[in-house]
Amino acid sequence: MKRKFGGNERLKRSLLNTLRREFEVLTMKPEEKIGEYFGRVMTVSNKMRSNSEDMPDSKIVEKILRTLTDQFTYVVISIEESKDTRSMSIDELQSSLAVHEQKFKKTTHEE
| pLDDT tens track for 2-11 | 555 555 888 8
DSSP 100: H
Q: pTM for the whole thing?
A: 0.84
DSSP 36: H
Q: What is the pLDDT averaged over residues 53-61?
A: 96
Where do the structural domains in the chain lie, given as residue ranges?
Answer: 2-110
What DSSP letter does each residue of 58-94 carry, written as one string? HHHHHHHHHTS-GGGHHHHHHHHHHS-TTT--HHHHH
Helix or strand (DSSP H, E) at 16: helix 2-25
Q: What is the pLDDT averaged over residues 73-92?
A: 94
pLDDT of residue 1: 46
